[in-house]
Amino acid sequence: MAKLYFYYASMNAGKSTTLLQADFNYRERGMRTLLWTAAIDGRSADHAIESRIGLGADARRFAADTDLWHEVSTAHAVAPLACVLIDEAQFLTPDQVWQCARLADEAGVPVLCYGLRTDFQGELFPGSAQLLGIADALVELKAVCHCGRKATMNLRIDAAGGAVDEGAQTEIGGNDRYVALCRRHFREALSR
């Protein structure tokens, strides 16, 4: 039975690296996969999905109006898919998460989603909230705070490294804009 998986973590936990390793494992065994990532994240010039340790792969890009059920089931009908892997899954709409569940339930294709659980204010992303609610399996990947505790929060920082507590939920950036922290140090940074 195919399942819908949600691998979640703060930034710098290796979500993209883990996705790329899973894709490699399927492909090494001669199985066909389909990779997706959010169209909103256009930072990478070489690959659609790129990890901080230098691994990368091409992928299709989804926007809020992408019908994942239609796109993936059509591709699956042409040549059977062993797995669908989605990076930046926090940017899925709730409807797209249900489409992913339908792919697992009706098309029999496992869907592995990788993304952030919360934003820079500690609020759930809509896609992450839906995944936490309906995924068959939830897997927390671990990042480490500077104190050694598990990092669960994403602190947005300005150019001078100061904490930012206001703004749009989505602002694309890497280590130049975000720091993964434990909850204690996240709260302390915002209270300064």
- Domain spans of the chain? 4-142
Whether 88 is a known active-site residue: answer yes
Distance CA 30, CA 70 (A): 24
User: What are φ and ψ of residue 7, in 5° steps?
Assistant: -100, 115
pLDDT (0 to 100) of residue 56: 80
Model pLDDT for residues 71-107, shown as the tens digit of each residue: 999 999 999 999 999 999 999 999 999 999 999 999 9
Q: Supply the DSSP symbol for 145.
A: -
Topology (CATH) of 4-142: Rossmann fold (3.40.50)
Helix (H) or strand (E) holding 118: none
pTM as predicted: 0.90
On average, the pLDDT of the chain sits at: 91
Instruction: Give the CA radius of gyration of the chain.
Output: 17
For 187, the 3-state DSSP assignment is helix
Name, in order, each residue with C-beta under 8 angstroms of 54's C-beta and a sequence gap of 6 or more: none
> How many helices (H) and strands (E) in the chain?
5, 13
Of the candidates 88, 123, 140, 171, the residue annotated as catalytic is 88
As given in the structure block, the two tokens for residue 178 are: 């975000």
Distance CA 112, CA 19 (A): 8
Model pLDDT for residues 97-138, shown as the tens digit of each residue: 999 999 999 999 999 999 999 998 899 999 999 999 999 999
Contact 105, 141 (CB under 8 A): no
